[in-house]
Structure formats: structure tokens, C-alpha cells
């Protein structure tokens, strides 16, 4: 099982480097349309290539599944699931609400994951059973129980279509990168 403070620190370093690369690529070429109608940028492709290499060095026995390169079956040490630029439309059109997202899945369960929001300078890392951190500082755990009507939640378009806006608790916020 991969994990621990050093492993999380290495993931954060890879996320930050990937975010810096995305910022360097931003606006270098116009975005293209993928077959599904979503956008892809030079940044998406270059960041995914970087993360394939960086995460492969971090955990050589894990497979890699990137949004741009497609599906892979888990390997002995699991599977890295990567969205190189989560919120590509926001990224392409200048909104700061985008990030670089990675997760390590082992035995069909996410064990560690993170997102770096380069324009905001914030990095969030979480490890199953160990907690969550923002920029290396522990976050307070969320209290268990129902979502209160005033608490903010995020949801994707497919989730909203599946359960309907009224089927989601709390105050809904959708900013393009859930």
C-alpha cells in the first residue's frame, strides 16, 4: 500500500510542477474540440504526459489512466486516475477555477488523491484513513450527518441530471471543476 507523509509530499510536488507547466502552456494555442464536444488544450496533453512520467517514477508498479489518453486496467500497485486540467473550459477562457487532479486507486478504492489549483496557489491532498491537507496543513474533518440547507456542495452536470436539482441537499455550486 502506498501512502504516508513522504508519498503525499511527492504527489504534491508533482501536482505543483504539473500546474506550473499548465500555466506556461495556457493560451499558447487555441483549444480543440474532442469527439464528445468537450475542449482539449495543449496544456491538457503536456500535463498528462508529464504526470504519466512523474507518477510512474513515484510508483512504477501502477498503471496510468488519463483523461486524454484513455482507459487502462489496474496493475499490481494500482491505477493512477488523472485529469490533467480539471475544468478545461475555465482554464481555456481565463477563469482561475481549474486544477490538476490525480488519484491512486488500489483494490478498486481510492487511497490517495490531490488537486492543485495553480491560479489560486492551493493544493489539497487526501489519504484514506489519514485525513486531508491544504498546502501541507491538516484540514479539520467534516462532521458526520446530513447536509444542512446552508452548507455548500458541488455537483457535476450528470449528477444534477440524474437526481434533479431538488434531489441534492445544501446550497448547490457548480463552477466548472468539481
pLDDT in tens, 132-175: 999 999 999 888 888 777 776 666 666 667 766 666 666 556 66
pLDDT computed for residue 46 by the predictor? 98
pLDDT in tens, 30-67: 999 999 999 999 999 999 999 999 999 999 999 999 99
Q: What is the mean pLDDT of residues 76-96?
A: 95
Q: What is the DSSP letter of 133?
A: E
Whether the Cβ atoms of residue 35 and residue 70 lie closer than 8 Å to each other: no
List Cα–Cα distances, 4 to 44, 69, 94, 142, in angstroms: 28, 28, 35, 21
pLDDT band at 74 (very low <50, low <70, confident <90, very high): confident
pLDDT computed for residue 3 by the predictor? 79
- N-to-C CA span, the chain: 27
Amino acid at each position: 500500500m502506498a501512502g504516508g507523509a513522504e508519498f503525499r509530499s511527492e504527489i504534491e510536488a508533482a501536482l505543483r510542477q504539473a500546474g506550473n507547466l499548465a500555466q506556461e502552456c495556457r493560451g499558447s494555442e487555441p483549444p480543440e474540440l474532442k469527439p464528445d464536444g468537450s475542449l482539449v488544450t495543449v496544456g491538457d496533453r503536456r500535463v498528462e504526459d508529464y504526470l504519466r512520467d512523474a507518477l510512474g517514477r513515484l510508483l512504477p508498479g501502477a498503471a496510468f489512466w488519463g483523461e486524454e489518453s484513455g482507459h487502462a486496467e489496474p496493475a499490481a500497485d494500482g491505477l493512477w486516475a488523472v485529469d490533467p486540467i480539471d475544468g478545461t473550459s475555465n482554464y481555456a477562457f481565463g477563469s482561475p477555477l481549474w486544477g490538476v487532479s490525480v488519484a491512486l486507486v488500489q483494490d478498486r478504492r481510492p487511497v490517495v488523491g490531490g488537486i492543485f489549483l495553480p491560479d489560486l496557489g492551493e493544493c489539497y491532498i487526501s489519504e484514506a484513513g489519514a485525513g486531508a491537507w491544504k498546502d501541507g496543513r491538516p484540514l479539520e474533518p467534516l462532521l458526520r450527518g446530513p447536509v444542512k440547507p446552508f452548507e455548500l456542495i458541488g455537483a457535476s452536470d450528470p449528477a444534477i441530471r440524474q437526481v434533479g436539482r431538488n434531489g441534492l441537499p445544501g446550497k448547490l455550486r457548480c463552477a466548472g471543476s468539481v
